[in-house]
Structure 1
């Protein structure tokens, strides 16, 4: 029997006066023009972060080993990032960061008693499990290339080893109420194809939603100069990803792609996520502190395959290069942040015109 305590979230507090039971209407995204005030004392050392339903054979669990990391065996090479325990832990932390950034909510689409939910690229499955708990009468399916999800899950949740790049998915067309994606930059050659396929598999009136990092680094007050090592790494990573045909800069295009695919009632919310604890606001400072850990823990994972296969770098060259990148990432005198885009849209009812 499923025990909720087996899937407790990390102890990152929600904003004051808000808990997960609050209605979605209580959440407001930052305006893109909003300015986050930096802390006047950025060098506080105390805040440093140095720190299945589809049959699969055993070979699926015999991961490919490269550079001391492991990668998925099924459809090997499709996803350029690791699937080992350190990366799973980082993914769980990333999930909690976004949960706090979104003030406790897991979705923005106006769901009403959904019967079938699909989570593409489910990762460790935390989102799917929480949705299964929230909607106990709904069938929640999470798909991924790696079987890294827990065995003990709610009875209405299942995980399937599947590749969303495949022409046909393991579900019936016009069958799902809601399809969800989160932080899948670099996972596909053309994310527009995932949107088009989702449109096909949604029932009329069903919703799709994507919650996505924009890989570009932003700064509002001029503290990030052209020589900033973390921004330079971001540009290098983007170049490597484009060479491999795995574009990273998709978040700001999602709304347009949804509309081109035929979705209506398309909405977009944009949030700012500091790269470290430079903000003065306690909530943003906390988010930045955890995000710094998230980024530091992920830098090697984000770099190895892309830089080796996309740029021809050696592992030693990558490790030497990342030394200065890590130092720059933790510099609280640079007030940089990423943008998080949330986009959701509805498949038109039968006979209702679409936007395509």
Structure 2
């Protein structure tokens, strides 16, 4: 079912077109603690594209931050390039820089105001301080060890008055009616154990606002918490129903990716995954994962 959803969503995407002359990218960087396959091709590319377009349909805009007319925009963790392309098209007079440990897809149509730099976020940033009006990271902090240590580095990239856009999930499945079932519990035991061994926090989304406020680098810190429901009956909002279905498919892809890439070390077996799927598709359950969107203005 999940793969069918992914294909259906991908077929409706018209923003990304095919490039006539394919890029010749370098090989992906492997040192960063990203447990999934490369984002520039195959199933993982479809998963990331589906997530971007689902969030874009829900937001109906690039970001909640009042960006006005930025001149330089940086995306750290560009994945398939979908957000960077949208930023470049939304602000055609701005210079947009996309960065990731993996190259952009070879078939991506790249706007003339978009450039790409391959980098490992565990290394020092290869940018001078105060170069950007906007810095964006989506679902990246969840893969970084000691994420609060990155806030000052991210803030240093911004000019005074610039916006830091951090977006991530609290990777905790909640049930409004009752405790989560044994299938979800078993999957979380393996997933949390694996993520903690990498030194990363799967619940980092819920900590973003506090980390940003504690950094004392920003004149304002804003947050929107978006509930992503696994069961469409949990909400009457069609936009939230759509977003929840996409996130369910995406999370399933994350677990499959970990299982395929790291095997038993990932703590997720096919049997555990089947148990999780049964429960998230149970029409009697009211399961959700919260997505945290923050936008903070540098002093």
State the TM bucket, normalised to the shorter chain.
0.7 to 0.9
TM-score using structure 2 length = 0.84
Q: Tell me the CA shift for residue 90 of structure 1.
A: 0.6
Task: Give the Å deviation of 1:297.
Answer: 3.3
Inter-partner Cα distance in structure 2 for 1:292 and 1:248: 16
- Deviations along 1:60-101, whole A, 9 cap, x unmatched? 43xxxxxxxxxx4x1435321112410110111111221233
Cα distance in 2, alignment partners of residues 259 and 230 from structure 1: 32
Judging changes above 3 Å, is the alpha-carbon distance between structure 1 residues 77 and 208 closer, same or farther for their aligned structure 2 residues? closer
Conserved? CA contact 1:241–1:306, under 8 Å: no
The residue aligned with 2:113 is 156
Q: Tell me if the contact between 1:255 and 1:343 (Cα under 8 Å) persists in the aligned partners.
A: yes
Do the aligned residues in 1 keep the contact of 2:73 with 2:132 (CA within 8 Å)? Answer: yes
Deviates more, 1:112-121 or 1:190-199: 190-199
> Highest Rg: 1 or 2?
1
Could you tell me which residue of structure 2 aligns to residue 264 of structure 1? Answer: 219
Report the TM-score, using the length of structure 1 for normalisation.
0.71
| 1:245 aligned to which of 186, 189, 199 | 199
3-state DSSP class of the match of 1:278? helix
Aligned CA distance change for structure 1 residues 279 and 11 (closer, same or farther; 3 Å): farther
2:248 is matched with 292
Hey, what's the Cα distance between the residues in 1 that align with 2:204 and 2:245?
Answer: 25
Aligned to 2:280: 329
Say whether the 8 Å CA contact 1:165–1:194 is kept in structure 2: no
Change (3 A) 1:9 1:306: closer
Unaligned residue ranges in structure 2 (runs of 5+): 1-8, 14-22
CA positional deviation for 1:232? 3.5
Is the counterpart of residue 127 in structure 1 residue 127 in structure 2?
Answer: no
* Cα distance, 1:302 vs structure 2: 4.0
Counterparts of 1:179-258 in structure 2 under 5 Å? 179-222=135-178, 225-258=179-212
Question: Does structure 1 residue 140 correspond to structure 2 residue 140?
Answer: no
SS in 1 for 2:33: coil
Work out the CA distance in 1 between the residues paired with 2:185 and 2:271.
17
**Bigger fraction of residues in helix:** 2
Q: Are residues 163 and 153 of structure 1, via their aligned partners in 2, closer, same or farther at CA, if it must alter by over 3 Å?
A: same
How far apart are 1:212 and its partner, in Å?
1.0
User: What's the counterpart of residue 107 of structure 1?
Assistant: 63
CA contact (8 A) 2:280 2:287 kept: no
CA distance in 1, matches of 2:36, 2:141: 11
1:4-19 equivalences under 5 Å are 11=12
1:106-149 deviations in Å (ceiling 9; x for gaps) = 21222121011110101000000001001001011111011133
> Which ranges of structure 1 fall in alignment gaps of 5 or more residues?
1-7, 13-55, 62-71, 349-356
- Classify 1:165/1:207 alpha carbon distance in 2 versus 1 (closer, same or farther; 3 Å): same
Distance 1:161 1:228 in 2: 41
* 2:32 and 2:120 in contact (8 A); partners too: no
CA distance in 2, matches of 1:341, 1:302: 23
Distance 1:190 1:307, change over 3 A: farther
C-alpha separation in 2, matches of 1:197 and 1:10 = 38
Take 1:186 and 1:291, find their aligned partners in 2: how far apart are those partners? 15
Contact 1:10 1:96 in 2 (8 A): no
Supply the distance in 1 between the matched residues of 2:265 and 2:109 (Cα, whole angstroms): 37
- Give the CA deviation at 1:165: 1.9
